[in-house]
Every structure is written in structure tokens, then in C-alpha cells.
Amino acid sequence: MTPESYHRPGEKLNEVVNRSWNVLQGAWTSFRAAQQSLPESDLGTSITRERWLLPLFRELDYGRLQTATAVEIDGRSYPISHGWEHVPVHLVSYKLELDRRTPGAAGAASASPHSLLQVFLNRSENNLWGFLSNGYKLRILRDNASLTRQAYVEFDLEAMMDGEVYSDFVLLWLLCHQSRVEGEKLSDCWLEKWMKVAEDQGTRALDQLRDGVEAAITALGLGFLEYPANHTMRDKLTSGELSAQDYYRQLLRMVYRLLFLFVAEDRNLLLNPAADTPARERYIDYYSTQRLRRMAETFKGTRHPDLFEGLRLVMRLLSGDNNGAGAGLGTRATGVVPVQRLGSSGRD
């Protein structure tokens, strides 16, 4: 990402973004003030657009967005409010929810604003990306074939501006700038190129994850079989009471449970925000999966079960077991890490 690619040669992007931030802080203040004096009967569409969203897109170098006329495709009308070249931009009142239909409200009467724009993108051959906002949220949408799952990127404008989260605005500016959606062909724009890169990286990551899961299943499966105290499980496998397929499924569940723990812990989602410092330090120093991962990379394991028992304890606490004893480790019950006995052997 260079100043030239954003049509700002000779300038520093951080200075450009900072100027836009300062301008838009004033626009947000004006928008908030206008809400206070707005009659209850007024839907608020004009102030949402004029005081806030149009200035926002102007700072993103779209100029003054032009009002669009309703487009008809296969007999259905799509009253998208604005547009820039081949990019539909649907701007509605701050009083409207993006995912709910509002009878009588322009741009939300026949379908929710999100559904209106998404279906339009899906059915149009001349549009690929679009923007949607009610002033509080800003979404980037793309032609999406899925009929059951929404797919979009969302910025919380209200939290960003009220909380003065400049870092979020930098990301918004870089991602939503006019230069990111321009191109002679729909597939030429930067957003489309970035999406293709993300898809390729995601495919490679899934392939690597698949290899890692297979290696983990093999290592854990052999480890449980070789552990001296697991004679009951070995007997059940030998007799057929526990099939190899069921054993594999239990191992697979354990591996994905561990992956969940790794991700949740890395994102700081496992510890209770209200936990005291000693409890948090106790968890991090002695029970965290980060500690286990570090040890796995530097130490050779032994036949002692203490680390495994510590992991079992964490899983029980996170599942809500032990009557709130998680306070001692600063954890909070998530209810999504169930404890299951592996092969009925006494080992999770």
C-alpha cells in the first residue's frame, strides 16, 4: 500500500488519514447534535447522510456520492440510495436496523437494507462490491452465492467515533478508500485481489491444519494406548467394545477442543476480566495452554500425568463444572468445552 496506489503521490498516508480523522470528528459531533433536536416523527435519513455519511465518503475520496435511481432486475426494483460508478452505496437512517425490514421506510420497506443490497449484488452482472451503512455501522458486501450465511466486513462507527479509536479508523480508511474499488473490470479492484489472496492463504492454512490434526491424532492416540494406567481402554479396543472408529472420533474431538482452547486463550477470552491478578498469574504460569505449547517445543515428555490432569481441570472449569471453583484460576465458564472420558478409560 503506497501513497501512489491511493492517488496521493508525494504525501504520507498517515498524515492524510489523520487529517480525515480530524475532519470526521467534527462531522460526528455535528451528527450527534442534530439527533438531539430531531423531531420524533422525522426518520432522520437526511441528517444521517448530510451530517455524517456523505462527509465520511467524501474523506474516502469518493467526492459527493450521487443519488442513485432504483434499478430493476427480473421485474424487481432495488432502491439503492447512492452509488459511485459500479459500486452501490446504500445509506439509510440511523434509526433503521440493517438486518430488519422497516415498513414505510425508503430502502428498507420491502426487505432489510442488508438483504436489499446483497440480493442486488447477487443478481446484478455489473456490480460486485458494495457499501451499506446506517451511520452506526458500515458494512462492505460482495456478491455472495450463499443463501444461508451472511458474509461481510463490518466497522462499528459508533464505537469507533465515540471511543475515539483511531486505529480502527485507519483500517477503515485503507480498506474502504475509493482506490480499493476502482478498476476497468470488476475483478481488477484491490478488494477483489485481496479477497483472492485471502482465499489462497486460507486454503493453504487449512491444508496445514489438516496435516497438524492428523499428526496430533496419531501422537495422542499412541500416547493413550501406551500409557500404563489405560489398560481398561486397551482391553475394550481388543474386545471390540470400543471400535477403532469410535476411538478415532474421540481423539478428533479432543484435538478440536484443544484448538478451541488455543485460539480462545490467545485472544484473551478464557480469563474473567474481573479476576484478581494473583489468579490470572496462577493460570498463565501453571495451567495455560501457552505454557503447554512452549514445553512441548522444548522438553521431552514423561509418563507422569500431572500436566494432563491440569489440562483436564481447566476443561472442567471452563465447562462450568466444580461449582465456580474457576475463580481460583481466574477462568470463566464458557459452557463450550465439555469434558468427555476418552474410551471410558478415566482419561479425557
What per-residue confidence (pLDDT) applies to 344?
A: 44
Q: Do residues 64 and 111 touch, judged by C-beta distance below 8 A? A: no
Q: How far apart are CA 260 and CA 169, in angstroms?
A: 30
pLDDT, tens digit only, all 348 positions of the chain: 789 999 999 999 999 999 999 999 999 999 999 999 999 889 999 999 999 999 999 999 999 998 988 888 988 889 999 999 999 999 999 999 999 999 888 888 889 999 999 999 999 988 899 999 999 999 999 998 765 567 889 999 999 999 999 999 999 999 999 999 998 887 888 899 888 887 777 667 667 778 888 888 898 899 889 888 888 999 999 999 999 999 998 888 888 888 888 888 888 878 887 788 888 888 888 888 888 888 888 877 777 788 888 888 888 877 766 554 555 777 766 655 554 555 544 444
The cell for 344 is 471410558
Which residue's C-alpha cell is 480469563? 271
What per-residue confidence (pLDDT) applies to 345?
A: 41
- Long-range pairs for 222-225 at CB < 8 Å and ≥24 separation? 224/251, 224/342, 224/343, 224/345, 224/347
Q: Tell me the sheet residues that pair with 90.
A: 132
Q: Tell me the sheet residues that pair with 83.
A: 66, 88
What are the start-end ranges of the H helices in the chain? 13-36, 45-47, 54-59, 113-123, 157-162, 166-176, 190-226, 231-239, 244-266, 277-282, 289-298, 306-318
* Model pTM score: 0.62
What per-residue confidence (pLDDT) applies to 207?
A: 73
3 state DSSP class of 140: strand
Alpha carbon 3 to chain centroid, angstroms: 28
Q: Do residues 93 and 45 touch, judged by C-beta distance below 8 A? A: yes
Q: How far apart are CA 31 and CA 134, in angstroms?
A: 12
Q: Which residues contact 322 (CB under 8 A, 6 or more apart)?
A: 316
| Geometric angle at alpha carbon 204, from 202 and 208, rounded to 5° | 115
Q: Do residues 65 and 71 touch, judged by C-beta distance below 8 A? A: no
